[in-house]
Structure formats: structure tokens, C-alpha cells
Amino acid sequence: MGRVSYIPLQGLIYVVMAFIAAAGCGRPITTSGTVVATDLREQGAGNARMETRGEDKRLKVATFGAGCFWCVEAMFQQLNGVEKVVSGYSGGSVANPTYEQVCTGTTGHAEVSQITYDPEGISYAQLLEVFWKTHDPTTRNRQGNDIGPQYRSVIFYHDEDQKRLAEGYKAKLEAEHIWDRPIVTEIVPFDRFWPAEDYHQNYYVNNPDKGYCRVVITPKVEKFRKVFRDELKQK
């Protein structure tokens, strides 16, 4: 892990945290900021389905890869303004990949979380803040003990505004020298998203007592909830 410190950003003092990530591990979704309908997966163990949201022009989409998608999903779905988080795969060359294929590291996909959010409740800049602070963006193709290109740090931007904001935030972090190593996060245009199998969806919510969840995800979620306590949904 790199050196962690405090930095002033956008007039506030942000606590930058290096969280430990471990192993996680369709029809495509093509969108430029709004969610479109998909069919059921035709292969693999799951039948992940996305709702049709294209008619709701308020809602936008963000797609982030930050290691194990179980961990990423567990945090982002707690944020006020986030309507839905779906675990899946982006950035590869194989259509409708299975979990087993992605885990070989040969398909080019990253494990990602696709986040549907209401910009009136949370901004893309706020989502970026959570992204940067909840994983280590300096380890190429790795998060903690998870090694492989599927665990790379990546932002798939859906429009030029998202690209501008992502690159700007990255530049500020680099200027502050938060980590001893350079940031290797990719910022690339979104192409397609393939929902992961059903058993990957809401994994932490559905399996809180499993060993992996207790040992890895719960400590990350607890840290996340302390840092972003003012941004959480009210129970």
C-alpha cells in the first residue's frame, strides 16, 4: 500500500483511505448516461436483469472498477441518491462473459459496479470521491491479494463531462502526492456492460455471515460508513 495522508480538495479536508480488497470473483448495456433495458443472461449460472430506466431522464449512470465488485457494490449502494448498483463486467473483448471466463484474466474485462444515480441526490463528483478513497489506485492489475487485469482500477466515463471530472480529480490527487507510487487508474470511454450472474448481485447484503464478508467486506464497509456518514441513506 502507498503512503496515506490528508489533502485539501475543493475547499474541504478529505481523508484518503487505502482499503484492502480481496477476491470477488448478459445482454450488453450501451448507454451515454441513462440506463436502457436488457434481457436475461443466456449463459452462466445467473439470470441478472436490469430494469428499464431509460424513460427516467433524471437518472444517470457511472461505471467504476476498483477491485472485487462485491466490495464496491456494498459501499456505493449505501449512498444517498444512488438508485441501484449492479455488479458486472466491462472493457473486454468477449461477449456476455461468465465469471469463470473473466477470472482467467484473458478476456480483457474488469469487474465493475454500474451505478444508477439521481444527480439531484448525489453528484458524479461525489461518486468519484468515494471511488478514489475506497481502493488503492497505485497498484496495476491488483487490489490487495487479488491479482489480474480483472481487478484493475478503472473509470469508464459515459460522456465528456464525466471524463473531465475524472481526469481533473486524478490530476489533483497526483499534484498532492498522496501515494509514494504513481496513480495507474485508467480513464477510458464506456462501451458495454455485461451484468454478472445473479449470485454476485447484492452479495454482501445476502451473505453477511460468510467468512469473506466478515473478514474483508465488513471492515471496509465500516471504514466507509465512518468517512461518508453524512452521505449515507437514512434507514
Residue 21: how many CA atoms within 13 Å on its side-chain side?
A: 34
Cell representation of residue 89: 463486467
pLDDT score for 144? 87
Q: Which amino acid is at 67?
A: G
pLDDT score for 195? 98
Active site residue 68: yes
Q: Classify burial at 202, counting beta carbons within 10 Å of its beta carbon; exposed 0-12, middle 13-18, buried 19 or more.
A: middle
Q: Classify burial at 129, counting beta carbons within 10 Å of its beta carbon; exposed 0-12, middle 13-18, buried 19 or more.
A: buried
Domain ranges of the chain: 6-224
pLDDT score for 61? 98
pLDDT score for 80? 97
Does residue 198 contact residue 46 with C-beta atoms inside 8 Å? yes
pLDDT score for 159? 97
What sign has the CA pseudo-torsion 167, 20, 78, 60? Answer: positive
Q: What is the pLDDT along the chain (235 residues), one digit of tens a residue?
A: 333 333 344 433 334 443 433 334 433 444 444 443 333 354 333 333 343 344 578 999 999 999 999 999 999 999 999 999 999 999 999 999 999 999 999 999 999 999 999 999 999 999 999 999 999 999 999 998 889 999 999 999 999 999 999 999 999 999 999 899 999 999 999 999 999 999 999 999 999 999 989 999 999 999 999 999 999 998 7
**Whether this model's pTM surpasses 0.85:** no
Which spans in the chain are helix H?
69-76, 99-103, 124-133, 160-176, 203-206, 211-212, 218-227
Catalytic residue among 68, 71, 103, 213: 68
pLDDT score for 33? 44
Q: Which of 169, 195, 147 is nearest to 44 (CA)?
A: 195
Q: Cα angle vertex 9, ends 8, 12, to 5°? A: 70
Report the CATH fold assignment for 6-224: Peptide Methionine Sulfoxide Reductase; Chain A (3.30.1060)
Does residue 128 contact residue 63 with C-beta atoms inside 8 Å? no
pLDDT score for 24? 40
